[in-house]
Amino acid sequence: MKSDELFALLRRRGVFWPSAEIYGGTQGLYDYGPLGTALKRRIEEAWAAWFVGLSHDYYLIDPAEILPEAVVRASGHLENFTDPEVICDTCHNAFRADTVLEKIRPEGVDGLPSKEIEEIVRGRGVKCPSCGATTLSVPPPFNLMFGLDYGVTGHERAYLRPETAQSSYLSFPRMWDVGRHALPLGIAIIGKAYRNEIAPRQLLLRMRSFEQAELQIFFDPEHFPLPFDRVRDEKLPVVRAERRLAGDEEVVLTSAADLVSAGKLPEFYVYHMVHTFRFFRDVLRIPPERIRLLEKSDQERAFYNRLHFDVEVLLDSMGGFKEIGGVHYRGDYDLSRHGQGSGKDLSVTLTGGRAVLPHVLELTYGVDRGLWAVADVHLGKDGDRTVWRLPPYLAPVPVGVFPLIPKEHAKFAEQLSDDLAAAGVSNLYDDSGTIGKRYARMDEAGTPFCVTVDAETLADGPSRGTVTVRSRDSKTQERVPATELAGRLAPAFRLPRPKRSA
Amino acid sequence: MKSDELFALLRRRGVFWPSAEIYGGTQGLYDYGPLGTALKRRIEEAWAAWFVGLSHDYYLIDPAEILPEAVVRASGHLENFTDPEVICDTCHNAFRADTVLEKIRPEGVDGLPSKEIEEIVRGRGVKCPSCGATTLSVPPPFNLMFGLDYGVTGHERAYLRPETAQSSYLSFPRMWDVGRHALPLGIAIIGKAYRNEIAPRQLLLRMRSFEQAELQIFFDPEHFPLPFDRVRDEKLPVVRAERRLAGDEEVVLTSAADLVSAGKLPEFYVYHMVHTFRFFRDVLRIPPERIRLLEKSDQERAFYNRLHFDVEVLLDSMGGFKEIGGVHYRGDYDLSRHGQGSGKDLSVTLTGGRAVLPHVLELTYGVDRGLWAVADVHLGKDGDRTVWRLPPYLAPVPVGVFPLIPKEHAKFAEQLSDDLAAAGVSNLYDDSGTIGKRYARMDEAGTPFCVTVDAETLADGPSRGTVTVRSRDSKTQERVPATELAGRLAPAFRLPRPKRSA
């Protein structure tokens, strides 16, 4: 589906809609409705089961999303977290400079002073993308962080965090004490980050308040124990930076072993590329041909990232591959900056007495973007039906419960609905309209199983107590004793988990 | 336990700690560690199962936490969301005026101009609570909202929401379309709210970024169908405003039926007081003698609240009863304000053609405060043991899995740990120290069941494949076949749910 059509459907079904809609909406903010809220929670749970599940020493935490100024000064965000902006003096719209200059300067404008960007814009007679006038100008760089007057004195400054990662770095010393005093130590956060985006477009793909799921793995650069042999034959769809710079964007399926030997990537890095790729393929069930791991070049990546691959998914609604996640090797940049900023030594002493300032491997995932991706990829037409083929464990409504004839079957069906809920199977009770219409609503909502209570359920004889279970994907129906329902469906709702690395 | 002692224990165990600790902490912000994050999520799930579970027509949503200025202007927060503040010109500390004047003016200072408050402070020679000087002054009122420069023009203003409720009111028209076009309609949000508190003290009880769980029930004031008979005999521990004003703060156990007949409260209101009380007693398992429902007087409650009871819990750590939740009848204030503010008619047309501007009943719960409450009430000494007697379905670590002798039993125990996780029973694998020490760590963490793999598990004979299950509360041990473990423990982990009202 096209973006507009998909959004219209998701809005109508209450997945999400523009925030403060009755006031005309707030640019860059969306509200999740019942289906979207449940879907987002399940995606978060699936992410945590997969990534935090990689080791006994990986933990999920939830720190505050407001950072004092000293923190963003140390991290470099206060100085450098800017996006060059272009504004039109005729229509007063604002645009990202890299978007406006996409064709003229495909390598981007990072690091260029505003004056030089303005020279390019004027020199090439670039037109405003909105009104067409050649009156574009380039104001001084614009910090993307939202600042707050914090406290009551009027002199304290704080910021909404621009990435969850910073909260993990701040928590490292405390987590070292709480944990087993061993590396690698993983700190995961699922939480909000905030950016005052110049051009918050593309719906959930560029929001001003958005959700990240990030795992920061703190490790000893001299020794990262992991069972690489288990993943060496996995073939990954990679686009290396060197080939891209030479104009070749083709995906090359390359085994993990080859990425290490010929590709000169470290084992620990490739091992986590494999697990990240598998999350997209095996947990979100994105078809592998829609996934690519795209390496950023020296010019494109942040200077502190020693290695940087984006995980991109081909989204028909957005007309191409879009970044949904990433694998970043950040070295010791973060702990050394916060060591300087706080005046604390953040190195740790390993068994044996060696002191180490841990390096960081960051696995990052955009929760909102990922939600849009599973809508783009799994929601579509199948003849007359509109069906959202979500993996059952991600379905916002795992089960629909229907009385065939409400007057006759409601009592049994309501009890069944309550029993399923008590057994941990959340479900939607629906008694309105024909069974066909109820199936259709559930198909759109991504519900994998619908259960109908009918005359046979209540009749004497061998069918007594049985209900029909209809599968969304196969459209087959089966009679199952109501008492066995929760147990029968349970395996489909189990979250996929990785084999532990340690 | 005293507040300091309890906090020290919770910090050491990684439940929560001051935010940005290595930078000296950020006043009013705390970070949740692994145990705290898991506990908070479980409390949220328990809240949702209970309150959203009250009706098929109640929904959980997740709107953005940033509100445009027009919204907070309409709601009255821009003008009125202030706390009178007192500052000391000697030591420069700031205090809430109502706290400083607690003894002199027990009825509070709401609505008093700054000048009059200053006259009282000066006239009575009030001393600074911090340095003792009589140099207190009263600056102009201070808005508690955090403002943001939103967007790139520099002219837009937005605010971090001061309560989740506003997001529900904004979502009502869309939710009406998404739902069944019927009242009552419930909209629940579990999410952040932000207040620039003058004196953010008392740990999780007064934070600047905190989590609320609120259910707004939109209903037809002429007809709120509910099975009052089911609750009429429940006795509630109430303190009515009239008696309080007369100096009597004693709890009076009063039946729901009497609160309606003699107490002149509406049935719909008392019905929800009962369910709120039961949440505290039956879900959080707070002993009922520690709970009271305290009515706010006309002077104390917000002018738009027609009825207002706080739910208070007796916290030894804080030396008295503290507000953790509330039941507020807000009338049609919110929808009529946002109707005016947005210029949209927010009334709905019921079956039969009658147009109604719904009234709102708000059930509110402080997630962080509730977390502190279940620590205060359930965590304590039992002889030499420190035990956190959390209800099993709230335990951050539901099960501990131990190999008795790691070298011999680790393989079986790790497999068991993975199998339990796959079956949805999250668990902590621990192989370090004596079994006694491992039990002690789990007791402190609130883990209700510990499972040990030992020689018998691996031996031939009738005990083969069995493990010992040790109960935190009874300290009894029992041998259970490992394959039956998940099924045996499952009932203890089921979230309590109310009987549906419709």
Q: What is the pLDDT along chain A (502 residues), one digit of tens a residue?
A: 999 999 999 999 999 999 999 999 999 999 999 999 999 999 999 999 999 999 989 999 999 999 999 999 999 999 989 888 899 999 988 888 888 998 888 878 877 888 889 999 999 999 999 999 999 999 888 899 999 999 987 789 999 999 999 999 999 999 999 999 999 999 999 999 999 998 888 999 999 999 999 999 999 999 999 999 999 999 999 999 999 999 999 999 999 999 999 999 999 999 999 999 999 999 999 999 999 999 999 888 888 899 999 999 999 999 999 999 999 999 999 999 999 999 999 999 999 999 999 999 999 999 999 999 999 999 999 999 999 999 999 999 999 999 999 999 999 999 999 999 988 899 999 999 999 999 999 999 999 999 999 999 999 999 999 999 999 999 999 999 999 999 999 999 999 999 764 4
> Looking at chain A, which residue has its C-alpha nearest residue B10?
A178
The token pair at A32 is 């999740």
What tens digit of pLDDT does each residue of B201-249 get?
899 999 999 999 999 999 999 999 999 999 999 999 999 999 999 999 9
The token pair at A9 is 């459907």
Q: Please compute, for residue A424, the number of CA atoms within 13 A of its CA located in the half-sphere on the CB side.
A: 17
- pLDDT value of position B107: 76
CA geometry: angle at A480 spanning A478 and A486, to 5°? 120
What tens digit of pLDDT does each residue of B434-448 get?
999 999 999 999 999
What tens digit of pLDDT does each residue of B247-273 get?
999 999 999 999 999 999 999 999 999
DSSP reduced 3-state for B27 = coil
Q: Tokens 């039961």 map to which residue?
A: B278
CB neighbour class for A250 (10 Å; exposed up to 12, middle 13-18, buried from 19)? exposed
- pLDDT value of position B500: 67
Query: Is the Cβ–Cβ distance between A374 and A317 less than 8 Å?
Result: no
**Average pLDDT, integer, range B444-467:** 96
CB atoms within 10 A of CB B484: 12
- pLDDT value of position B199: 86
CA–CA distance, B479 with B462 (Å, rounded to integer)? 11
- pLDDT value of position B93: 86
Amino acid identity of residue A72, one-letter, is V
The token pair at A22 is 């009755």
For residue A77, which phi and psi values (nearest 5 degrees)? -65, -30
Who among B53, B63, B160 is closest to A19 (CB)?
B63
- pLDDT value of position A500: 67
DSSP state for residue A495 in the 8-state scheme = P
Interface of B with A in 286-305 (CB under 8 A): none
Evaluate if residue B136 carries a pLDDT over 60. yes
Q: Over pLDDT 90: what percentage of chain B?
A: 85
Q: Residue B245 belongs to what H/E stretch?
A: helix B241-245
The token pair at A8 is 């219209």
Query: Is the Cβ–Cβ distance between B354 and B237 less than 8 Å?
Result: no
Tell me if B198 and A85 make a contact (CB, 8 A cut-off). Answer: no
What tens digit of pLDDT does each residue of B371-409 get?
999 999 999 999 999 999 999 999 999 999 999 999 999
Who among A22, A34, A153 is closest to B173 (CB)?
A22
Residue B242, min C-alpha distance to chain A (Å): 36
- pLDDT value of position A502: 45
Evaluate if residue B17 carries a pLDDT over 60. yes
Chain B interface disruption, residue of A9, A16, A37, A144, most B CBs within 10 A: A37
Instruction: Say how many residues make up chain B.
Output: 502
CA–CA distance, A333 with A303 (Å, rounded to integer)? 10
CA–CA distance, A174 with A180 (Å, rounded to integer)? 12
CA geometry: angle at B430 spanning B425 and B436, to 5°? 110
For residue A145, which phi and psi values (nearest 5 degrees)? -80, 145
Chain B interface includes A1 (CB < 8 A): no
Residues 6+ apart with CB under 8 A from B408: B455, B458
CA–CA distance, B202 with B207 (Å, rounded to integer)? 8
For residue B132, which phi and psi values (nearest 5 degrees)? 85, -5
CA–CA distance, B325 with B280 (Å, rounded to integer)? 9
Tell me if B148 and A146 make a contact (CB, 8 A cut-off). Answer: yes
Tell me if B208 and A150 make a contact (CB, 8 A cut-off). Answer: yes
- pLDDT value of position B70: 97
Amino acid identity of residue B5, one-letter, is E
Residues 6+ apart with CB under 8 A from A247: none
CA–CA distance, A153 with A168 (Å, rounded to integer)? 28
pTM value is: 0.95
CA–CA distance, B431 with B472 (Å, rounded to integer)? 18
CB atoms within 10 A of CB A106: 8
Q: Tokens 């078809």 map to which residue?
A: A287
